[in-house]
Structure 1
């Protein structure tokens, strides 16, 4: 098994994802597969995306040698690579990417409401966060600007938790970047809300912590994520977070035309999106 794993990691194309995530990903990386809660065609597409084997227009032109344009047919600006589809297409930014981002934040908001006995839906996927919700235990702000004495550029994290019992504040902000960028995005979030942390600590006179919730577009989970959720004492299980991010599968599966003939794929059509082993040398 070890030799097979090493052989997989050494492949120039198919091993890219595993090499990029080897040092930073937690042991929960494969939870979305072990939980078995995604449709099998979605699992297949995400796994193929991790292995760089989806036949995007760029791959069809550069690897298959097909006489087609490699440019994304949705934005008409960049090559239609897996990275572009998953995280960089401007045509998807305000709709699909935002929906994916908000799904992660909503799941965490729902979990915090449950933990602090605040009003919320029984089912996570039905939850619609209120701007401000509070009781004797906690106050939770959703996408809400925090007032400060100084004019600050960044005052609106995804979720602000004011724990009245433990007398502490958590500034929680999420992101779903391409997997090589997960650590960079975590550092970016901490820097982004540094001034807000200083101001709120001074004004409210209680400890304030910035908690980035970062998950890669293809399911990468940093080792630090579990520790962050443990601090909140109400984290969403990493496997569930990955399931939410599995929304990217629907982008590949329904929203994007990976060739000129179809925009939807059934279970039996998934293989048509993948490379034949003989077409590339990995």
Structure 2
């Protein structure tokens, strides 16, 4: 069986990784233990996606993306590779964040006088 737990820990040993900054959230984020465990599971890619169920649990689940109905329902696919989500949800979230950044820059440089709630 493929080793799952510890992927994040192994990734920390990369030559371009700031190890202290990469784990400082564990000390300063003030998270519940359950939340910290969930975030760690995400970083180790051990969430119960269809890919995980098919290849790790071997329960006969089809590895089909729920949104795009094509093979590959892994965590990486959901986070960055799903064409359907990239053109919908991800784009919407990106635009919302860009709107906030744009507004803060406009306030800082005196281009607008008031802050619209987001």
Query: TM over 0.5: same fold?
Result: yes
1:121 and 2:115 correspond: yes
State the partner residue of 2:76. 83
User: Computing the radius of gyration over CA atoms, which structure comes out larger, 1 or 2?
Assistant: 1
| Larger proportion of strand | 1
Partner deviation per Cα, 1:187-236 (whole Å, 9 max, x = no partner): xxxxxxxxxxxxxxxxxxxxxxxxxxxxxxxxxxxxxxxxxxxxxxxxxx
State the partner residue of 2:16. 24
- For structure 2, the 5+ residue unaligned runs are none
- For structure 1, the 5+ residue unaligned runs are 1-11, 127-282
Partner deviation per Cα, 1:75-99 (whole Å, 9 max, x = no partner): 1112110101111112211222112
| Larger proportion of helix | 2
* 1:15 equivalent among 6, 12, 17: 6
Cα contact 1:14–1:50 (8 A) shared by 2 = no
- Where does 1:129-278 land on structure 2 (aligned, <5 Å)? none
Runs of 4+ in 1 over 6 A off after TM superposition: 38-42
RMSD (Å), alpha carbons = 3.0
Cα contact 2:45–2:75 (8 A) shared by 1 = yes
- Cα 1:35–1:118, aligned 2, differ >3 Å: closer, same or farther? farther
Q: What is the TM-score normalised by the length of structure 1?
A: 0.34
Instruction: Give 1:16 shift.
Output: 2.2
- Cα 1:29–1:66, aligned 2, differ >3 Å: closer, same or farther? same
State the partner residue of 1:54. 47
Q: What is the TM-score normalised by the length of structure 2?
A: 0.70
Partner deviation per Cα, 1:240-265 (whole Å, 9 max, x = no partner): xxxxxxxxxxxxxxxxxxxxxxxxxx
- Cα 1:92–1:63, aligned 2, differ >3 Å: closer, same or farther? same
